[in-house]
Structure 1
Amino acid sequence: MDERILMIRDEERKYHEACYEQHQLFEPGSWLNKPVITVMDTLKAFDAYEELSVLDLGSGVGRNSIPIAQSLKSRSGQVVCVDILEQALEKLKEYSDTYGVNSYISTHLSDIGDYEIKPEGFDYIITVSSLEHVASEQIFTDVIRKMVCGTKVNGINCLIVNTNCQEIDLLSGSLLEPMMEVNLATEKAANIFAEAYQGWDISYTTVKQLEFTIERNERPVLLKSDCITYVARRVN
């Protein structure tokens, strides 16, 4: 793995680990305060299922996977949680105990680019702000193909990906190298999705411009991106 990728991953590790230490899951005041609305709204499509299999690629500490697991208490099922950060998965296990869903959660320490998805193994596959952190554009495409192959008939994929990313040092005003391994143009990412999900029912897609302040090396940084949300259902 080249030095650029290693440097980005080290910066992202420091940022996420600091966030996980400073903020509790579902605590107001950070992006951990609640699950993603689209992820939870899409989950309603499975309300009639007596058993549900879910894959969360880049699960972090359980922002989305724990609420999904809570929906399984009235039925059977499993949420498979994959993340590259050991600390994130340790926190996820703690929160799973706290929220009484540990029997519905299975954790796997892995780069999502390396994780093998069982063919037609899942009803619902989600990946939130994670695909842009694989090691290359080719792996980005390969992971989506594995998601497609890993989805059961009538299953759904929900992808949320940041594109056109910029980082600006707020003290100097200078542009920084974005800490994204794969920083695709928005149109290119949309074309990759369209090709991968040919023949699927595209339930929902949107692009939203995001801006928020983060900290890198104890300096405030403005992160700007296009956030693509893409929800597709396999129909045959």
Structure 2
Amino acid sequence: MRAEEKRYHDQCYEQHKLFEAGSWLHKPVQTVMEVLPELIQTDGMRVLDLGSGVGRNTIPIAAYLKPFNGTVIAVDLLSSAIEGLRSYSREHQVHPYIEIVQSDIESYRIEADSFDAIIAVSTLEHLGSEDELKRKLAEIALGTKPGGILCIIMGTHIQETAIRTNEALDPMFEINMSTEAMNELLQHTYQGWETMKHLVKPLVFEISRGDEPVRLASDCITYVVRKPGL
């Protein structure tokens, strides 16, 4: 993760409280919540949340898994995210159902047939290279149980522009593929899986890079598929 992107997240976690209005932390991602009732409901379900942050999705997932005595494994690199997740999980009384792992996504090893669902929201863009992305997508495929669900939300064709000067900036993302190339990679990697949701939505919003306001534009790919095999 680039230093500026790390700084942006650190500032966001410091300035905004989870599930309160004023930032993208104010509610979980709707698509992630829609995935949960589609899971094959069994005792001891396991869900992997890659790039969990302070728990925007992790905590609602844990609440859903609680009656099943399930576990959500939350993986994030940033100390600010890990500390926030620990605090919020206790505040929301779901900490027994969350296993927290501090790690970059590349280093975190996903064992075969380990998870009923794998969630990766706005995180695969920060892998070190397209080769690492391909490797991790293949690892995710192996790590999903038969009948399990994969939910990827990822930005492509990312552009950053300084609002004050209208200057085009270098986007602070390690991977910035074209939308067409990313769609092709996903469809190739998960060929034969059931497509539950696949859409592309243009997004434009304002962020800060240090003290500078920046317009961030991208295509947002939402990709939800179920692994065959049951």
Give TM class, smaller chain: over 0.9
**Structure 1 range deviating more: 182-191 or 45-54:** 45-54
**Structure 1 counterpart of 2:49:** 56
User: Which residue of the other structure, out of 17, 28, 53, is the alignment partner of 1:24?
Assistant: 17
**Structure 1 counterpart of 2:66:** 73
**Structure 2 counterpart of 1:142:** 135
Tell me the secondary structure at the aligned position of residue 113 of structure 1: coil
CA contact (8 A) 2:40 2:147 kept: no
User: Which residue of the other structure, out of 166, 178, 193, is the alignment partner of 2:159?
Assistant: 166
Amino acid at match of 2:19: F
CA contact (8 A) 2:147 2:227 kept: yes
Amino acid at match of 2:183: A
Distance 1:197 1:48 in 2: 23
1:48 CA displacement = 3.4
Distance 1:47 1:67 in 2: 18
Amino acid at match of 2:101: H
**Structure 1 counterpart of 2:217:** 224
| Count of paired positions | 229
**Structure 2 counterpart of 1:10:** 3
**Structure 1 range deviating more: 43-52 or 189-198:** 43-52
Distance 1:79 1:217 in 2: 33
Tell me the secondary structure at the aligned position of residue 174 of structure 2: coil
Tell me the secondary structure at the aligned position of residue 32 of structure 1: helix
Distance 1:48 1:147 in 2: 20
Distance 2:82 2:222 in 1: 25
1:84 CA displacement = 1.0
Amino acid at match of 1:177: D
Tell me the secondary structure at the aligned position of residue 79 of structure 1: strand
Cα deviation per residue 1:178-198 (whole Å; 9 max; x = unaligned)? 001000000000011001101
Amino acid at match of 2:204: E
User: Is residue 190 from structure 1 mapped to residue 190 from structure 2 by the alignment?
Assistant: no
Quote the RMSD (CA, aligned, Å): 0.9
1:50 CA displacement = 2.9
**Structure 1 counterpart of 2:120:** 127
* Matched-pair identity in %: 47
Distance 1:202 1:113 in 2: 25
User: Is residue 88 from structure 1 mapped to residue 81 from structure 2 by the alignment?
Assistant: yes
Q: Which runs of 5+ in 2 are unaligned?
A: none
Aligned structure 1 segments of 4 or more residues deviating by more than 2 angstroms: 46-51
**Structure 2 counterpart of 1:5:** none
Cα deviation per residue 1:116-135 (whole Å; 9 max; x = unaligned)? 00110000000000000010
Normalised to the residue count of structure 1, the TM-score between the two structures is 0.95
**Structure 2 counterpart of 1:3:** none
1:90 CA displacement = 1.0
1:35 CA displacement = 0.5
Amino acid at match of 1:97: R
